[in-house]
Amino acid sequence: MKFKNSIFFILLIFLVGCNQFDNKKNKLNFKPEKKYKNSGFALIYNDDFKLKKLDQRSLQIFHMKLKAKSQVKITNPVNNKSLIAEIKSNSVKFSNFYNSVITDRIVEELNINISEPYVEIVLISKDSTFIAKKSKTFKEERKVAEKAPIDGIKISSLNEDVKKNEIKELNKNFSYSIIVADFYYKKSANLMIERIKKEALLDKINLIRLSQTNYRVLLGPYNDINSLKESFEKMKSLNFENLEILKNV
């Protein structure tokens, strides 16, 4: 009898030990979901585009990766103005140079320069405290935006001469780079540079040391949007999912 009890306790200890090991293993293998963030150029919607209809009065956008009905925070890095928008669809096809398709309403609200529509997009998770506080406000803002008329994105300047001068100044200071990736080892970063030269046929590549264990591969700088877009498109052959564009200051 004692022998049977001893076997029972040994088996019990073994099973508990296995469960604890499995739990530890699961915890070690657990990887939290990385929040989507991208800085780049937006495409301003036009009714002449051969795309799905997008109401110019709305706070909705098209995005190629994020799920429909997802909510995102859109920020204009130039003035730090931001708003909450909703993904209307992720099935609309447009150039992957653009991180989104936005409406005139968003351009107006954020005072985005139409000749240089550079924005940052951050996905807001449904369980975040931020979205819980902002969801009601977003719905109210959306109702107001959909009812209010659009005066046109040109009203941001008091007169046309001032606007032309501002655009000339912005174009003169146009300077952007493409963030390819950050690496822990310098050797890995150099291997990526060689791959870019060979497969994407680009040579305007920089290796930036951010810290002792952080190396960044950058393309650029580019001083006009056409050369920036051309290099961005060439990177498609390397199948990067989330290339970012960095505004040089």
pLDDT tens figures, 75-107: 999 999 999 999 999 999 999 999 999 999 999
What is 174-247's CATH number?
Answer: 3.30.70.1070
DSSP 116: S
- Domains of the chain: which residue ranges? 37-170, 174-247
CA dihedral (46, 48, 52, 58) in degrees, to 10, reads 30
Burial of residue 48, with CB atoms counted within 10 A of its CB: 0-12 exposed, 13-18 middle, 19 or more buried: exposed
pTM: 0.71
At position 193, the amino acid (one-letter code) is I
pLDDT tens digits, one per residue of 20-79: 434 443 333 333 346 899 999 999 999 888 889 999 999 999 999 999 999 999 999 999
Q: CB of 103 within 8 A of CB of 45?
A: yes
H helix or E strand, kind and range, residue 96: none
Query: To which residue do tokens 């952007």 refer?
Result: 176
CATH H-level superfamily of 37-170:
RlpA-like domain (2.40.40.10)
